Chains A and B, each alone.
Chain A
Amino acid sequence: MNRTQLLLRLLLKAAWVRKDRAFTALVSVAVVATIATAALTIYSDLEGKLSHEFRGFGANVIVTKNSGALTPGELADMRKIVGSTGEIVPVGYAIATETTSKARIVVGGADVDKLRELNSSWSFSNAGHGSTLVGARVDETLAHGADLQISFGKASTSIKAGTVFHSGSDDDSRIYLPLEDFMRLTSIQPNTALVRIEGKPQQIQSAISQLSAALPDVEVKPVRQITQAQTAVVGKTRSVVLASSAVVVVLIMLCMVATFTGSVLERRKDFAVMKALGASNRAVNFLFASEAALLALTGSVAGYILGCGVAFWIGKANFDAAILPQPLLLLPVLLGSVVLALIASTAPLRLLQQIQPAGILRGE
């Protein structure tokens, strides 16, 4: 039997004969690796996932042309910057008059379906079959669920009772018509676009500056309370997740180190026997260290896989979208666990080396 074979045998026997000891050590390493992997995976994807939740706030940028209508070229430029995930809804506005009461109403023209999609927080109730969107206050004060007769200049039209919406904003005093109907009535082209840029706070900021640079004749106004709240909430949540994960990972690491150290100290007799049989300090160190490294490696691989599973499941359960494993994390998690285990197992040996083997064997 050569030295390598002996070493392997010692390692295997140590794990096999005291299965429960190996198992508890394995569990504590695996738990550390699991929680570290899960926390880091979630943290790395959190900004995107949380930012996605802000899509419901609707337009986060409003683009207005002060003179004339938005040209198809300008709209195409906007589309290029906003990308396929964002939304652009061109809107034209005019003031019409309700024919019986002579009340003035702001009428908007837009792609009604897209407008509804953009403002998903509005509540809609179907009052009729028309394709218009009627603001709640217009319905309360003028329409009462019936058709409306409105005029603009010399043109006039009848608006079929459509969907009534509640927004809680100025829009409640407005009527939105399909764009073609609006243009037929008023001959006004859209000069405003409601834009929702999707992405992380800094991506939104850069898209806004690109828009302002690309469209010199147009005013680009971020809806500041939304972009600001998004930045604040996403940032603070990330910090909380990071801080609490750091606390958990560090404490649980200490816990693991304590367990490891404890169990090495319990093996002072093994240590003394080896020394008494003539093993050098280096050989003993090497044996204990390789045992720890082997355990840590197995435990951390298991922990990494489990941690990815935990992160995936948390993503599914909380954001309805999986948080995918980060292969980049594998190496740091493995290395970290092995280094920790090495430190935890070799540090107590140094203590033991100061005592005579005979003393330990005698039970001192």
Chain B
Amino acid sequence: MFLRLLFESFRRQKRRKSVALLAIALGMSIATAMIAVGNDIGDKINQELRSLGANLVITPIEDTLDVNIGGVNLKPASEGAVINEQELIKIKGIFWGHNIKGYAPFLNAPQKIQTRNGEVDAELIGTYFAQPLHYGKDQFFTGVRSVNPWWKVEGAWPPDYGDFPEQFPPDVLAGSKLAQQAGLSVGDQIEIGGRKLRISGILNSGGEEDQSIVAALHIAQKLLGQPNAVRRVTVSALTKPEDAFARKDPDKMSPAVRDRWYCSPYANSIAYQLREVLPNVRVEQIRQVEQNQGKVLSRVSGLMLLLTLAALLAAALTVSAAMAATILERRQEVGLMKSLGAGNSVVASLFLTEAAFLALAGGLMGFLAGALLAHRIGQSIFGSAIVVHPVVLAVVLFAAVLVTFLGSVGAVRKAMQFDPAVVLRGNA
């Protein structure tokens, strides 16, 4: 009998049910889309913040002070210590290796450069552009093209030579300011240490590199006679904003606390892990980047969290109101059932079961629509999908049932308060 009542109610009141279903589905697609976007926004903005460049820098511990004014390096090539390039691949092997978005090694020294207009002093910088590397089974590319995305090249990026090609002059980049001063342009040949190089592009970085010649690392190593040498490595890592716990000294922690610290992607713990794999290096946060990106990130995520909460509350209220409205219109039905002898509990359970069906169906529809919306938002703004976690489905279904119940319970109670006779007469 109960099932039949339920079934007939859905069959005969299609219009009323579809209004309620539509309201629930709309409310729940808001919930799904906002939860998905709010949950993913941190990662997405973190990726955008990588355009600030590296947030960690590795230097040899024995190194002497940098002597650098206005982009001119006055430290001779022979001075200071170096890091072994072969060791660098270990960077990918640390606990948070997946969070290392890329790294770029640098080897630099002031050089005399022969151009067709005469000799100039400039810095020679060797680095990876987009060097292919293997770690385990993974192949990945790393270098300044991904780590320093603000570097712009007019012309072509040079390849990352494995060794100095003897048959033809290898390609290098000339900094824009140097090119202007020395009258260099794309296709020109220059000479460093008696070896010919060809300029394939003009680099505009807005920084000190604009006054330098930038070559593939292995070319610079050969020209400077320092095989496998690297002076500095900048690392771009996805990190969690620093908090008080992050600043604690791991060596003074209890093992359990230390594990928790070690397994959080703080810049400090990633720096600690880098020091573990690379002997005799200092790893320092590039504080300008690291400290501020956390602040910006937490502001953006915080904003989205609050907006999500507001939207969820709004959706809940609207769905409850819609549910209440449809039930309030059915007081005559309640009156009829009660006058035929139905108890309050039977009437209530009928209405609530109906509400639960509506909630589940509406919740599912809303989830699918919301997931689609979130996907579209991710694609159009960030160019990468926002993936909706399956857990959200459970949350949304639960929320749908809860919200429709909240809307229904009050209305059902109200409807039952009236005397059936009065309701049926149409006076209530």
Contacts and interface: CB of A to CB of B under 8 A. Distances in A.
Contacts of B287: 121-123, 166-169
Interface in B296-332: 296, 299-300, 302-304, 306-307, 310-311, 314-315, 317-319, 321-322, 324-326, 328-329
Interface stretch (A71-79, A109-117, A250-258, A280-288): A250-258
Contact of A226 (B27, B33, B52, B381): B52
Contact of B321 (A57, A226, A259, A314): A259
A244 B314 contact: no
A258 B19 CA distance: 6
Interface string A133-173: 00011100110000000000000000000000011111011
B67 A28 contact: no
A20 B310 contact: no
A314 B310 contact: yes
Contact of B30 (A168, A221, A248): A248
B23 interface: yes
Interface residues of A, number: 81
Nearest to B28: A251
B325 to A, nearest CB: 4
A32 B313 CA distance: 11
Interface string A293-331: 000000000000000001000100111000000000000
Given A169-B288, A233-B45, A233-B300, A93 B414 contact: no
A5 interface: no
Contacts of A254: 22, 26
A131 interface: no
A192 B70 contact: yes
A239 interface: yes
Going nearest first, the 5 A-B pairs with the smallest beta carbon separation are: A224-B206, A262-B19, A168-B286, A121-B291, A173-B66
B9 to A, nearest CB: 15
Contacts of A137: 63, 65-66
Interface string A212-252: 00000000011111101100110011011101110110011
A106 B70 CA distance: 11
B150 A251 contact: no
Contacts of B302: 317-318
B370 to A, nearest CB: 9
Contacts of B382: 236
Given A259-B19, A262-B325, A317-B306, 11 more contacts: A24-B321, A24-B324, A27-B318, A57-B292, A104-B74, A106-B65, A228-B150, A244-B307, A258-B19, A259-B23, A265-B19
Contacts of A245: 307
A27 B321 contact: yes
Contact of A53 (B23, B290, B295, B321): B295
B53 interface: yes
A142 B65 CA distance: 9
Which of B56, B63, B66, B285: most chain A CB closer than 10 A? B66
Given A122-B287, A169-B286, A259-B19, A252 B315 contact: yes
B299 A53 contact: yes
A341 to B, nearest CB: 14
A25 B30 CA distance: 20
A210 interface: no
Interface residues of B, number: 77
Contacts of A39: 307
Contacts of A211: none
A255 B27 contact: yes
B292 A56 contact: yes
B29 interface: yes
B314 A252 contact: yes
Given A170-B68, A225-B148, A243 B381 contact: yes
Nearest to A57: B292
Contacts of B256: none
A105 B75 CA distance: 10
Contacts of B22: 254-255, 258
B69 A95 contact: yes
Interface in A9-68: 20-21, 24-25, 27-28, 31-32, 34-35, 38-39, 42, 46, 50, 53-54, 56-58, 64
A318 B41 CA distance: 15
B209 to A, nearest CB: 11
A57 B310 CA distance: 31
B34 A314 contact: no
29 contacts: A24-B325, A25-B325, A38-B310, A42-B303, A53-B299, A56-B291, A95-B67, A105-B67, A106-B69, A121-B291, A192-B70, A223-B206, A224-B205, A229-B51, A233-B49, A233-B300, A236-B45, A236-B381, A236-B382, A237-B300, A239-B381, A240-B304, A241-B303, A243-B377, A252-B314, A255-B315, A256-B318, A265-B15, A310-B310
